[in-house]
Structure 1
Amino acid sequence: MTASPALAFITADEVTELVDPGTARELLRQTLLDGFDPAGDPARSHLHNAAGELLLMPSALNDWVGVKLAGVAPENPRLGLPRIQAVYVLFDGATLSPRLMIDGAALTSLRTPATSAVAAAELADPDPAKLLVFGSGPQAVGHVVALTTLFPRLSVSIVARRAEGVAAAIGKLDALGIEATAGSADEVPEADLIVTATSSSEPVFDGSGVRDGACVLAIGSHSPARRELDSTLMGRSLVVVEDLGTARRECGDVVIAAGEGRLSLGTLPNLSDLVCGRISRATDRPNVFKGSGMAWQDLAVAAGIAERYTGND
């Protein structure tokens, strides 16, 4: 019996070396242009324990199959550990032989902002000037990197509950050559782009202040009982979701607004509609993209990593 070769492990540093934010964005965009239907993705599975929950996210795409296993432990930061830790296992689609293991946290930090950037490329002003980010963790930083790659002229403000969190995020961005300053929710009316990347269960700003034509990217929650955006904003906006079934299961911003009679779920377009030109951005109202993260996004970027890793061997 032939022994299986040892699996290579792609570290966080290697993830960023092999696929940059612009490439990740194009991998996701091309997957949708090629006709992939996110509605066929399996639902995320949740296994709860005393520390938090383990998420299992499998998908199949072209020549690849993969699964992400992510642990979400809210008390971990008090122990000096990340709130989210993960590993990704990539399989050959033809044989289901495991091919690579990838740092799942780094993969998530790359693919989530890249997905938002796919939406922002269609929903934002063609040349936006101001980006306001709520949150100071890895996703907040990752979104600044992805969006300033797409829109180099952006000025960046960071808003978070803790001043030390804002300072840390600004320091990380400075090390990457990106200038950012501390901001406040008072800047919402001035913003062309707004990102919410928080762990909040309640709206983080007053949605009535978002200007018509602005783009809001909400990615901080994947629970039907938690939201970052209020029903006022959801009700007056063009709202785009990753997939309607996923939004019904996991997106509190959508579910709660619908429950309050401010949003009709049956009319919500998805990201594929946007990328393939079946809908376009609104200029007479705000534009909202609500994402909770889907397994196909991990797989599309993981496959890109694998193809580049093999080519470098």
Structure 2
Amino acid sequence: MITFIDKQTIESHFDFPELIERLRSAFAQSNVEVPMRHHHDYANPPEDRESTLLLMPAWDPGKDLGVKMVTVSPNNGDYNLPSIQGIYLLFDAHKGSCKTLLDAKSLTAYRTAATSALASSYLSRENSRCLMMIGTGALSSVLIKAHAAVRPIDKVIIWGRDPLKAEALKKTLVDEPFEIEVVETIESGIKNADIISCATLSETPLINGELLKPGQHLDMVGAYRPDMREADDQCLLRSSIFVDHYAGALKETGDIVIPMQQGIIQRADIKAELFELCKEAATGREHSEEITFFKSVGHALEDLVAATLIAEKVNL
């Protein structure tokens, strides 16, 4: 019988420092083979809006192979359901047998947050103490915890479209060792933040780049489609731009695709991807006044690393 690793098991076994270092090693070594993920938008007539199917395979030759199948339904908040749902299948890459199934939603949340924290370890200032979280979805709490694993965060500012959800997020973090403040406007949070993490399904920019301060780091996690944006043109023009991987960022996210199509930025303006940073083939933050911008679109390597780590911990 194939074992299913559920949300509770995943959450109880995750350790951000360990996962971050596993990811750093995997990005540096590049042993994992990752085809371009399948991205299919499909009609969803009851919502008068498209949903998305993502298929993300990856394998470490002779060791492990994994495939994530995920649906993204942007209006699911109206039904008190997560927008991202799916399953992860982990196989033995030697003999082809299926080792386990994992809850993809939880796996995705933790590996995404760990990847943002990994990028932050290269791009944010080492003394960053104040984190602003824009968005109150499933990723929000884990992004906050992941960033706090690599920087001395002692204050978290939360903004969400729904103030009640922002207050609910605050309550889930009440036992964490930092002060938490819910703000009414994004602008009021930006002026005090060292790191700004944004994870939303916004189709229009939320962050006004003219308000950014020298030395800030932007961690842009949402905007997973070419018609979505979380950051405006000034955010990009004022920042040193980094991505998790070129192939996905140049194709899938409006935060990069739209300003490139409009000639606001060029391909050469993207300084490095995580593979280069982790191999020390490129430099991250160069000085304390630099504004850094990291765009995460997700990479199947991250899923495979996280899934194999969890499988190890439950002795599979």
Query: Residue in 2 aligned with 1:262?
Result: 264
- Measured after TM superposition, the shift of residue 43 of structure 1 is 2.2
Query: Residue in 1 aligned with 2:93?
Result: 93
1:21 aligns with 2:20: no
Query: Residue in 1 aligned with 2:58?
Result: 59
Q: Which string of whole-angstrom CA distances, capped at 9 and with x for unpartnered residues, describes residues 75-96 of structure 1?
A: 3222232221111110001112
Q: Which string of whole-angstrom CA distances, capped at 9 and with x for unpartnered residues, describes residues 107-157 of structure 1?
A: 011000000000001101111121111101111111101111222333100
Measured in 1, the distance between the counterparts of 2:65 and 2:4 equals 17
8 Å Cα contact 1:199-1:220 kept in structure 2? yes
Q: 1:259 to 1:42 in 2, by over 3 A?
A: closer
TM-score normalised to the size of structure 1?
0.91
**1, 4, 12: which one aligns with 1:9:** 4
Q: Which residues in structure 2 correspond to 1:102-121 (within 5 Å)?
A: 102-121=102-121
- Measured after TM superposition, the shift of residue 178 of structure 1 is 5.0
- Measured after TM superposition, the shift of residue 41 of structure 1 is 3.4
**35, 46, 50: which one aligns with 2:40:** 46
Which ranges of structure 2 fall in alignment gaps of 5 or more residues?
none
Out of 274-283 and 6-15, give the one that drifted further. Answer: 274-283
Measured in 2, the distance between the counterparts of 1:75 and 1:280 equals 36
Measured in 1, the distance between the counterparts of 2:227 and 2:80 equals 28
8 Å Cα contact 1:235-1:257 kept in structure 2? no
8 Å Cα contact 1:156-1:179 kept in structure 2? yes
8 Å Cα contact 1:211-1:285 kept in structure 2? no
Query: What letter corresponds to residue 12 of structure 1 in structure 2?
Result: K
8 Å Cα contact 2:134-2:200 kept in structure 1? yes
Measured in 1, the distance between the counterparts of 2:177 and 2:128 equals 19
Measured in 2, the distance between the counterparts of 1:192 and 1:178 equals 14
Measured in 2, the distance between the counterparts of 1:179 and 1:11 equals 31
Query: Residue in 2 aligned with 1:216?
Result: 218
- Measured after TM superposition, the shift of residue 245 of structure 1 is 1.4
Equivalenced residue count is: 305
> What is the aligned-residue RMSD (CA, Å)?
1.8
TM-score normalised to the size of structure 2?
0.91
Query: Residue in 1 aligned with 2:145?
Result: 145
Query: What letter corresponds to residue 43 of structure 1 in structure 2?
Result: R
Query: Residue in 1 aligned with 2:25?
Result: 30
Measured in 1, the distance between the counterparts of 2:83 and 2:248 equals 23
Query: What letter corresponds to residue 7 of structure 1 in structure 2?
Result: I
* Moved >6 Å (runs of 4+): none
Query: Residue in 1 aligned with 2:285?
Result: 281
Query: What letter corresponds to residue 306 of structure 2 in structure 1?
Result: V
Q: Which string of whole-angstrom CA distances, capped at 9 and with x for unpartnered residues, describes residues 137-195 of structure 1?
A: 11111110111122233310001111111011101111556542102322313211000
Query: What letter corresponds to residue 102 of structure 2 in structure 1?
Result: I
Query: What letter corresponds to residue 190 of structure 1 in structure 2?
Result: N
Query: Residue in 2 aligned with 1:3?
Result: none
- Measured after TM superposition, the shift of residue 307 of structure 1 is 1.6
Out of 183-192 and 293-302, give the one that drifted further. Answer: 183-192
Q: Which string of whole-angstrom CA distances, capped at 9 and with x for unpartnered residues, describes residues 38-77 of structure 1?
A: 8x43223325242622221111125111111112122322
**290, 293, 297: which one aligns with 1:292:** 297
Out of 75-84 and 205-214, give the one that drifted further. Answer: 75-84
Measured in 2, the distance between the counterparts of 1:80 and 1:247 equals 30
Which ranges of structure 1 fall in alignment gaps of 5 or more residues?
1-5
Q: Which string of whole-angstrom CA distances, capped at 9 and with x for unpartnered residues, describes residues 4-40 of structure 1?
A: xx111111111122222222211211101223478x4
Question: Matched residues, percent identical?
Answer: 28
Q: Which residues in structure 2 correspond to 1:148-187 (within 5 Å)?
A: 148-175=148-175, 179-183=179-183, 184-185=185-186, 186-187=188-189
8 Å Cα contact 2:37-2:54 kept in structure 1? no
- Measured after TM superposition, the shift of residue 267 of structure 1 is 4.4
